[in-house]
A and B are shown apart, each in its own frame.
Chain A
Amino acid sequence: MKFDYVLRETMTNLRRNVTLTIAAIVTVGVSLALFGSTLLVGQGVDNVSQRWSDGIEVIAFLKSDVTPEQREAIEDFIEDSPEIGTWDYKDLEESREEALRLFERNEAMKAKIEGGTRIPDSYRLSPESKDVNLMRSLGEQLRAMPGVHIVTDESDSVKTITAVSAFAQLAMLVVGIGLLVAALLLILNAIRMAMFARRREIEVMKLVGATNWFIRVPFMLEGIVQGVVGALFALGALVALDRAMTSAAENRDYQTIMEGFVASSGEFRLTALVVVLLGVTIGAAGSAWALSRFLRV
């Protein structure tokens, strides 16, 4: 009896105020989507920078059919370049182990590596100078040598990604929080309107001795439903973003930049949980605020 009463009243409230309900849900959805994206992108950026935090500035990956002569030529070139401070050679086994470690949190990549995808052996060069142009020309020269597959000098792109994403994250966070406040106020008003529409019923309920909670619960639930539905929309947007990040990371054109720019499934689940909990909290807080301000019992 009580359960279906509460459900019926909540649905009636939501229907009666349909425009305000939609406005509240959309605002909750957009704000939580922005908020969640900030978290996801932040985790992606963390994963990328961790990958490049070892101080290696240039990596020359070798072709699978590299000959010992070609390797000797490359090593001679490195030795003869005073710009290069220290260097190291990673053979196939070491590269594989390192890749497994780096992609520890990227299940798809890990599966590929464990499935036998060949991680090429490589030279790791730490330059003496931090001159970007010097490193560029060094990279160009290495790339032209026989037996070299790809040369990456990620320092630049990683720095750019980090800087741009830090700014984008801050902007999204500010807009997200602004919208979250707007969402809270919209829910507050939706509940207030619902209470106004039902003021006769509330008056009668008080007169015949309905408990305060019995009067409140449908309104609380109305706010929470708005928060949760908004959060579910935000979750949809986050799933799409996560897919986009993963597929960008797998795209060969961006691979060197985007590798590692993925949130792991664990991180995604945590973000999803935060988003849904925030939705519930916003809804409950908005309606609790409305009830404490406008419902005298």
Chain B
Amino acid sequence: MITFENVSKIYKGHVEALHGATAVIEKGEFVFLVGPSGSGKSTMLRLINREETADKGRIFVAGKDIARLSSWRVPYLRRNIGCIFQDYKLLTNKTVYENVAFALEVIGRPRHVVKAQVPAILELVGLDTKTSNLPEELSGGEQQRVSIARAFVNRPLILLADEPTGNLDPATSVGIMRLLDRINRTGTTVVMATHDRSIVDTMQRRVIELDQGSIIRDQARGVYQ
């Protein structure tokens, strides 16, 4: 599903965020990216949905070399990739329902699709009673659920998660991880960058460890270490 072939990324000419990274992530895998801040985890995620482009090497997503994608095709690549973040990136002036519906509306999905999909996904993430609340009226865990609903409502092939539990207490984090696990079981490939040792250790999934831009460990059913 995702292939990194000897990928390097250099910011502003001298900061090497990623150095010769090679990894193959199969369809349906659940992969943790671990490592200290600045080790290149976020860069890897940003390369996958082409928010950044690689300076060396090649990246394949769903069989396509994404460097060769013309810029007008990039949005269509991104429709196959859901993203969630530490800070949720919700629109504060829109309700829970509108935040999720927005993701479908702006890619031109017809109204009846929006009306059918949004309540279903909100039920899946356990927010069917809070559809008309504004994000500020929700707890952090609930806000992250809204952002997961928004990322997943279009049924993407890949879900990228950048420190999704970074702002949450351990109990809430467990709830979010259960949700991501459920999404992974539907066949969605999940790639999650995290600092959270206990989550990585309990989940027992593949772990890719980065340090100063290099992959130093790639281990199936690994721990944080």
A residues at B contact (CB < 8 Å): 1-2, 5, 200-201, 203-212, 214-215, 297
Contact = CB atoms under 8 A, between A and B. Distances in A.
A203 B89 contact: yes
A214 B104 CA distance: 13
A209 B71 contact: no
Contact of A208 (B72, B92, B103, B111): B103
Interface residues of B, number: 28
Contact of B91 (A5, A201, A210, A297): A201
Given A201-B91, A297-B71, A208 B108 contact: no
A214 B78 contact: no
Interface in B26-63: 49
B111 A212 contact: no
Interface string B61-78: 000000000011011111
A211 B110 CA distance: 16
A211 B89 contact: no
A1 B111 CA distance: 7
A214 B76 CA distance: 13
Given A1-B110, A209-B77, A200 B91 contact: yes
Interface of B: 49, 71-72, 74-83, 89, 91-92, 102-103, 105-111, 150-151, 154
Nearest to B103: A208
B108 A2 contact: yes
A211 B103 contact: no
B174 to A, nearest CB: 26
A239 B105 CA distance: 43
Given A1-B108, A1-B111, A2-B108, A208 B150 contact: yes
Contact of B76 (A1, A204, A209): A209
A255 B77 CA distance: 72
B78 A200 contact: no
11 contacts: A1-B105, A1-B108, A1-B109, A200-B89, A204-B89, A206-B78, A207-B78, A208-B106, A209-B79, A209-B80, A297-B71
A5 B74 CA distance: 22
From A200, A204, A206, A209, name the one whose CB has the most chain B CB atoms within 10 angstroms. A209
A208 B91 contact: no
B75 A210 contact: yes
Contacts of B81: 209
A212 B108 contact: no
Nearest to A200: B91
B78 A208 contact: yes
Contacts of A205: 106
Contacts of B105: 1, 5
A201 B78 CA distance: 16
A60 to B, nearest CB: 75
Contact of B154 (A1, A208, A212, A297): A208
A203 B103 CA distance: 11
Given A200-B91, A204-B89, A204-B91, A210 B106 contact: yes
Contact of A211 (B75, B92, B154): B75
A209 B102 contact: no
A6 to B, nearest CB: 11
B162 to A, nearest CB: 11
Contacts of B80: 209
Nearest to B106: A210
Contacts of A208: 78-79, 82, 102-103, 106-107, 150-151, 154
Given A209-B107, A210-B75, A212-B71, 18 more contacts: A1-B110, A1-B111, A5-B106, A201-B91, A204-B102, A207-B78, A207-B83, A207-B89, A208-B79, A208-B102, A208-B103, A209-B75, A209-B77, A209-B78, A209-B154, A211-B72, A212-B75, A214-B107
Contacts of B91: 200-201, 204
A196 to B, nearest CB: 15
Contacts of A204: 89, 91, 102-103, 150
A201 B94 CA distance: 10
From A5, A200, A206, A207, name the one whose CB has the most chain B CB atoms within 10 angstroms. A207
A297 B110 CA distance: 24
Contacts of B77: 209
Contacts of A201: 91, 102
Given A206-B78, A207-B89, A208-B103, A214 B71 contact: no
